[in-house]
Amino acid sequence: MDLSNLTIHQINDLLKCREVKSVDITDSYIKRIKEIDPIISAYLYNDFEEALSNAEDADKIIQKNSDFPYLTGVPLSIKDIFLIKGKRTTCASKILDNFISPYDATVIKRLKKNNYVFIGKTNMDEFAMGSSTENSAYKITKNPYDLNRVPGGSSGGSAASVSADLCAGSFGTDTGGSIRQPASLCGVVGLKPTYGLISRYGIIAFSSSLDQAGVIANDVLDAAIMLKAAVGFDEKDQTTRKLEIKNYPEIVKKADKLTMKGLKVGIPVEFFSEGLDPKIYLKIMEIKDLLKGLGASIVDISLPDTKYSVAAYYVIATSEASSNLERYDGIRFGSRFNEDKNLQSLDELYKKSRELGFGKEVKRRIILGTFALSAGYYDAYYKKASLVRKLIIKNYKDSFNNVDIILGPTSPTPAFLIGEKMSDPLSMYLSDIYTISINLAYLPALSLPIGAVENPTKKGGVLPVGLQLISPWATEERLLSVAKVIEDEVKFREKYTPVM
Ligand code: GLN
């Protein structure tokens, strides 16, 4: 039996009735990774020994107990931005090439408590800066639906690893769209929770007021299961909130069509602007009609200030990044590039390490952010962007006085070709035009695969399309329930399979 194309809840069912062992499941993922990953390049590295030993531990727990956490014995991949004690964490950067994590991120600690199986670290854009995973210093990940196309980014390795069945689920991070956009491009579910719901402790910082860990999964119930395992207050991250932990999986299981009756669904005019692929527009409209048919009321809304979100984001995110990345100087943190023994001063050592350690996009962001924060420019850039952020927060708040949930596209286009946007940073930045404002507003959002469009460069091929759902602060259960109802209607997993 091929055990590597199951959902987490299916794996859990099999383990519960002791039909298979976690070791068998893990073994089948390992076989598939060995066969397929040399083509997809979703992983930066795997640790099969560790995976099998985690699986054996899980099997012992399963033997002894009839009740065990959902993730027990489930092989998951982890974006290479999370610290795992004793393991290499590179953030896909040369500057962290030989960095071994001294401790576990809180998310990892929680996963270990749930007896998960660690199967490998996934590729990403360097320091999570990018939308295609092409900014990785190590390799280019391919989209499992078309090997000539990008998987999206920055959690592209995570999305590709779930889509190509190289793990059962993946943890990623989302600062401006990095979970939702790759999930959309790879035909999987991506959930970026409310800021503060999951601890950022032990996750390498890019932009601290925007970064949020989240999940990439095969279906909505799996996303709920993974979310529940990771959430909760953490005294090591002062931005986490003491919120009631909801039983997301049980809530999702109860979601049904009837609950759509009377649901107020907001359609923001700004999310259907020029630049949106007309075929994606039509797909989103099909879902709007579907919800209407189920008794939801559709409300046209406006989020007028979201048109400034990309601009505000690239001031705030680069400013925070320039400060967060200051620590990589080749002495306190980061590889020291001192082969050149002629270096005359400490300053030269810093410069050399940063020059050789960081890639082009990271340097571009550090320069932009340093400029935005410099004396005399602070008011014109950072302060102004923060004011715009407040307006965006208010736009959403006002809208949620009238609607329960907001619906739109995740990405303006399906997966683009490798190399297509690399020479034009602005067009790359626009890939996140529909996702960025949500991070600025600290809100939760989910990308759900709802169908596919024809692949223009591959006869008979298709490219997945993602729908984005946005809900008020800390209402992930609403997002998940609505997504589950749509998922049951569109049956994406039954209709589409990647080429790899
Ligand atoms: N693509 C966006 C950027 O390049 C968002 C990245 C992210 O969410 N980490 O910054």
At 112 the three-state DSSP class reads helix
What ligand 1 atom has the least distance to the C-alpha of 174?
8
Q: What type of residue sits at position 482?
A: V
pLDDT in tens, 458-497: 999 999 999 999 999 999 999 999 999 999 999 999 999 9
The C-alpha atoms of residue 101 and residue 121 are separated, in whole angstroms, by 13
Check whether 339 has a pLDDT greater than 80. Answer: no
What is the position in ligand 1's atom list of the atom closest to the CA of 313?
Answer: 10
Q: What ligand 1 atom has the least distance to the C-alpha of 128? A: 9
Instruction: Tell me if 178 CB under 6 Å of ligand 1.
Output: yes
Which residue minimizes the CA distance to atom 4 of ligand 1?
130
Pairwise CA distance, residues 208 & 197, whole Å: 14
Instruction: Tell me how far the alpha carbon of residue 182 lies from the centroid of ligand 1, in angstroms.
Output: 11
- CA torsion 463→10→405→384, rounded to 10°? -70
What are the helix (H) ranges across 308-382?
309-324, 346-357, 360-373
Q: For helices 220-230 and 8-16, what crossing angle results, to 10°?
A: 80
CATH code, domain with 411: 3.90.1300.10
Query: What is the pLDDT, as a whole number, of residue 343?
Result: 79
Query: What Cα–Cα distance (Å) separates residue 193 from each residue in 108, 113, 182, 211, 446?
Result: 17, 21, 16, 10, 8
Strands 189-192 and 297-301: unpaired
Dump pLDDT digits (tens) for 40-91: 999 999 999 999 999 999 999 999 998 999 999 999 999 999 999 999 999 9
Q: Does the pLDDT value for residue 342 go beyond 80?
A: no
Q: 349 versus 166: which is more confidently predicted?
A: 166
Torsion, Cα 281 285 286 287, to 10 degrees, reads 110
CB 196 near ligand 1, within 6 Å:
no
Identify the domain containing residue 126 by its residue range. Answer: 8-263+402-495
- pLDDT value at residue 274: 83
Is 174 near ligand 1, meaning CB less than 6 Å away? yes
* 1 has a pLDDT exceeding 90: no
Task: State the pLDDT at residue 273.
Answer: 85
Domain-located, residue 287: no
Alpha carbon of 175 to ligand 1 centroid (Å): 6
Could you tell which of 427, 428, 432, 434 is best to mutate to test the pocket of ligand 1, judged by most ligand atoms within 8 Å of the CB?
Answer: 432
Find out whether the beta carbon of 124 lies less than 6 Å from any atom of ligand 1.
no
HSE on the CB side for 398, CA within 13 Å? Answer: 12
> Which whole number is the average pLDDT over 363-389?
95
Q: Is residue 380 assigned to a domain?
A: no
Q: Above 80 in pLDDT, residue 341? A: no
Note the pLDDT of residue 340: 64
**What is the distance in A from the centroid of ligand 1 to the CA of 267?**
24
**Spatial distance between the Cα atoms of 449 and 258, rounded to a whole number of angstroms:** 22
Task: With 0.95 as the threshold, say if the pTM is over it.
Answer: yes
Residue 450 in any domain: the answer is: yes
CA of 371 to the centre of ligand 1 (A): 19
Give the number of domains in the chain.
1
CA of 305 relative to ligand 1 center, distance in Å: 20
Mean pLDDT of 412-441: 95
Model pLDDT for residues 199-218, shown as the tens digit of each residue: 999 999 999 999 999 999 99
User: Which of 79, 93, 131 has most ligand 1 atoms within 8 Å of CB, for mutation?
Assistant: 131
> If pLDDT is split at 50, 70 and 90, which confidence band does 289 have?
very high
Pocket test for ligand 1, best of 93, 124, 132, 178 (most atoms within 8 A of CB): 178
- 129 close to ligand 1 (CB < 6 Angstrom): yes
> For residue 327, is it within any domain?
no
Instruction: State in Å: Cα 179 to ligand 1 middle.
Output: 9
Is 365 a domain residue?
no
Atom of ligand 1 at shortest distance to CA of 179?
A: 8
Average pLDDT on 327-332 reads: 92
Is residue 30 domain-resident? yes
Q: Is residue 19 part of a domain?
A: yes
The average pLDDT across 260-277 equals 94
The residues that are catalytic are 79, 154, 178
- Specify the ligand 1 atom closest to the Cα of 177: 8
Ligand 1 atom showing the smallest separation from residue 207 Cα: 9
Whether 156 lines ligand 1, by a CB cut-off of 6 Å, is no
Mean pLDDT of 292-320: 97
Nearest CA to ligand 1 atom 5: 176
346 in a domain, yes or no?
no
- Ligand 1: residue whose CA is nearest its atom 10: 129
- Ligand 1 centre and the CA of 129: distance in Å? 5
In tens, the pLDDT along 174-191 reads 999 999 999 999 999 999
200 Cα: distance to centroid of ligand 1 (angstroms)? 16
What ligand 1 atom has the least distance to the C-alpha of 436?
Answer: 5
**How far is it between the farthest Cα atoms of the chain?**
73
Cα 125 to ligand 1 centroid, rounded to whole Å: 9
451 ligand 1 Cβ < 6 A: no
